[in-house]
A and B are shown apart, each in its own frame.
Chain A
Amino acid sequence: MFQNLSALWKGFKNFFICNYYCLIQGKNFYPASILPKHTYRSIINIDDLLNKQELYILRRAEISPEDLFTDLGTLNSDAIDLKDIPDLSMNLMGSFFTDKHVKFVPLKKGSQIWPGGVKVYLSDFIDEYKVLTDNFSFFYINLKELHKISIPFEKEKDTQAENLFKQLKYANTVLGNRIISVKNGTSEIKHAPTYLNYWHIELQIKDPSSKVISRGKSRAASEILSKFLIEHIFSVKSIATLDKVTPARIVKSSYILIE
């Protein structure tokens, strides 16, 4: 009984505070559709998602839209700041997150990890987000291009790659039916829902010994991996629109708890 009354009171408070700030003080309405709900799973399993569908990621860039792509159609290497990798923040598309939400930037507690099972009232976060108005842009990239890829690359035997290896006089690079590069790290997408954005994901990087590299502790080797991701993978694989692709919708069972 008490819990019901408390929830009702919080609901009313939320309604009035949000409307006061947004209607009277002119603050932009934060999109409630991307907030975590207590019926959501605390973590979405990315491997399961990828087994089921082709999904895209959206990333905001703090450069103007006209500078976002080069004359060759590759992503400007300054679209992502090196210091933002590892744990690069991005947004998972295919459900409620759309490009209209990219201007909202959660701050402080709003950007902290949502622990799961907790109802989020926007009125508690009224000063914990900012709204960008200009000088930003965004791009998309297929989830599978970043999840569990090897850096530098390792792939199935390929005649073109083999020819180039031969001409470069690399020794012992063909092992069995795979071509192995000298130093391999891996990248992985991790679901990291925050209080203000359930669809927030992060790019994790593992060094060649499979140790997760944490931000601020990167050594020279991890800088190569991070730069490789920005300057090579993001550069070629990022796209400006989703017009020519067919992104799937995330199935509800991937994120809603089933009783």
Chain B
Amino acid sequence: MEARPIYHYDSNIVIEMKAMSGNSLYFPDPSCDEYDKIVREYNRKVAEISFLLNRYSYSSTTSSTTTTTILEEEITNQEDLKKTLLSPAYIKNLEHLKNSFNKSFYKNKELLTLNSDDVYKKFLELASSFSELPFENAVVELTKSQSIKFTFLFDDDKLLLISKNIENNDDLNYNEIVFSLFINKELIISNVSESISFVEGFQKFLYL
């Protein structure tokens, strides 16, 4: 498959994926083995760039000057791409998580011991994965103990809690999270898991 840059037109922001991802992304062929992985990676990158641009309140004009190249004419079949790769639910979920995180961030930012950009980056890594979950409501907390905690409410009173220490000074690996699932407020399971495989597994669990 020939590697080509992917472009996504998100409201007033044109995002140049190739520049941000070092040529690693390309249009996926739905029949290829790696399709799901590529889609997931794409979603994460779009979320990351979109979020960072929004955070710094760049307009479409300023973003076009900061990204290395804007080649809108090369965007082929863009609407299909958006439909396939970025579902409205995903964007809505990500927005919801961002808003909740921002609220907590501005309340607790003076208590952070880490650089706030690193904290945002960590949040984004997690939120871009967790936005794939079909939650009904969610709250993100940035805690005084330097953790990011996500609480997701699903149907049938399922409550999923995920926390991640952003300092990485516990004995978990960089990508590992602590999660708990409660149903009707009863703890069903709690454990440590790698974040991306957790999302995959949890989605399958929800659709059983």
* A residues in contact (CB < 8 Å) with B: 70-72, 74, 76-78, 81-82, 151-153, 155, 158, 160-161, 163-165, 167-170, 179, 181-183, 220-221, 223-224, 227-228, 230-233, 235-237
User: Do the beta carbons of A153 and B198 come within 8 Å of each other?
Assistant: no
Stretch at the interface among B38-46, B79-87, B114-122, B142-150: B142-150
- Kindly count the residue-residue contacts between A and B in the assembled complex, taking CB atoms under 8 Å apart: 131
Task: Please name 14 pairs of A and B residues whose Cβ atoms are closer than 8 Å in the assembled complex, sorted by A.
Answer: A72-B138, A72-B159, A74-B159, A77-B141, A78-B143, A78-B144, A153-B191, A155-B188, A160-B188, A167-B204, A220-B169, A223-B165, A224-B170, A236-B187
A152 in contact with B192 given A72-B151, A221-B170, A233-B187 (CB within 8 Å): yes
Alpha-carbon distance A165/B143, docked complex (angstroms)? 28
Q: How many residues of B contact A (CB 8 A)?
A: 41
> Is the C-beta of B182 less than 8 angstroms from some C-beta in chain A?
yes
User: Do the beta carbons of A231 and B192 come within 8 Å of each other?
Assistant: no
List residues of chain A with CB within 8 A of the CB of B151.
Answer: 70, 72, 74, 235
Alpha-carbon distance A165/B205, docked complex (angstroms)? 9
User: Do the beta carbons of A236 and B185 come within 8 Å of each other?
Assistant: yes
From A167, A170, A223, A237, name the one whose CB has the most chain B CB atoms within 10 angstroms: A167
Interface of B is mostly: strand
A231 in contact with B161 given A152-B178, A160-B183, A221-B170 (CB within 8 Å): yes
Enumerate B75-131 residues with CB–CB distance to A below 8 Å. 108
**Distance in Å: Cβ of A118 to nearest Cβ of chain B:** 37
List residues of chain B with CB within 8 A of the CB of A151.
Answer: 190
Alpha-carbon distance A183/B137, docked complex (angstroms)? 30
